Structure 1
């Protein structure tokens, strides 16, 4: 009985983690270029010897649920027209490089603007880097800004620079650091033939209806597991009462 409760509790812990991820996906359904996530669970099989040491008996190894990580869906979100000349969407693989106080970070959220020092920056005020790894300065007096599909930025017929679009060997292993940024220790390499679209942004790839369905499934599973734990507790209390009765 005790082992059944322990296994059920391991399931509940992973279900709580799953609910947190689903809730975060729903909260970011309108976040530019946000990528939906899902939990990764594996079976943890406790060896029979260890189970016996813990007082679980030697009948069989115990199977627990183990939270092993998070999977990020890298599918491209819808490309939405904004008309803002500093909004840029990447079509295909790749990330923009951004210089932050904590080092270079990567993002697909191309909702940019020009700050009071004429640098192209993210909404957090961090400089967007060129393909040469330097901040991009845009003089408003040079005229209307145009961004070609290869990322080349020009104004008044003069080339200013080119957006740096890079990729890594395993994008799924990149870690979130907040503000829609990712970090990695992998080597970032320029994306050949990268394609960007001026006046567009990539929407979140979260599907709210799917996430709501998942939320209902998680809630039902959690409730069912809690009922199992309660039933086991009632059974244990009943057994204790029966054993505690004085013999006639």
Structure 2
């Protein structure tokens, strides 16, 4: 048995998985509110050989929570979330949380995401505006007014740091533990007329893609040399036997 070949193979498999996550991140670099997917690798120690052999694990993915760049749009239906907060909308199977604050109002006055999902208030109810009330004014705490009339408030939530996030569509996430209503509006809020871009640095991600390709090729060359060495040893033993 050549443990070095298996170690190299485990490294290539890990690199392929990382390559997939990077490609997905780059493909969504222009998606508002998109959270990059990262991957964590651990060392696996095998005792099946004469000496312990370290292998690379397949890796576990997680969604990065770092903030993206905030840019001005001047659209009154756009908001960027500040701090660690999240907006909420009603998905196909319960609430979904997002940093994509691009919204629209239906002819009936329903506040929805660009994909048509109802935007929720802090109580989990869809937000209803006056279809004839004009563009809303949205305060930093999410309070929505049209003219002088308060129409409701955007639900702002925080997700515990230990929660595992799963992706919904491109910019939505679902935590495995309940999100909590935001209480400290000095640290969490919204900016009207702004949106948050994806938290993906395209230059950094492309650099990583190049590095992974080089590492993959390097491992492949090492495996080929190891195989040549093995074949040479077999031929030498055969000639001397």
Question: TM-score, structure 1 length as denominator?
Answer: 0.89
- Root-mean-square deviation over aligned CA pairs: 1.8
Q: What's 1:10 paired with?
A: 10
Gap runs ≥5 in structure 2: none
Which of 192, 196, 202 is equivalent to 1:202?
196
Cα distance in 2 between the residues matched to 1:224 and 1:91: 43
C-alpha offsets along residues 189-246 of structure 1, whole Å, 9 cap, x if unaligned? 1112131111110111211111121111111111100001111222222233334448
Q: Does 1:66 align with 2:57?
A: yes
Shifted more, 93-102 versus 228-237: the winner is 228-237
C-alpha offsets along residues 38-66 of structure 1, whole Å, 9 cap, x if unaligned? 2211110012xxx1xxxx4x1x1111001
Q: What's 2:98 paired with?
A: 107
Which of 168, 178, 188 is equivalent to 2:159?
168
Q: Are the equivalent residues in 2 in contact too, given 1:39–1:69 (CA < 8 A)?
A: yes
Cα distance in 2 between the residues matched to 1:171 and 1:108: 18
Structure 1 runs of 4+ off > 6 angstroms?
none
Cα distance in 2 between the residues matched to 1:39 and 1:148: 37
Q: Does 1:218 align with 2:212?
A: yes
- How big is the shift at 1:71? 4.1
Cα distance in 1 between the residues matched to 2:38 and 2:133: 46
Gap runs ≥5 in structure 1: none
SS in 2 for 1:134: coil
Cα distance in 2 between the residues matched to 1:29 and 1:232: 40
Q: Are the equivalent residues in 2 in contact too, given 1:74–1:172 (CA < 8 A)?
A: no
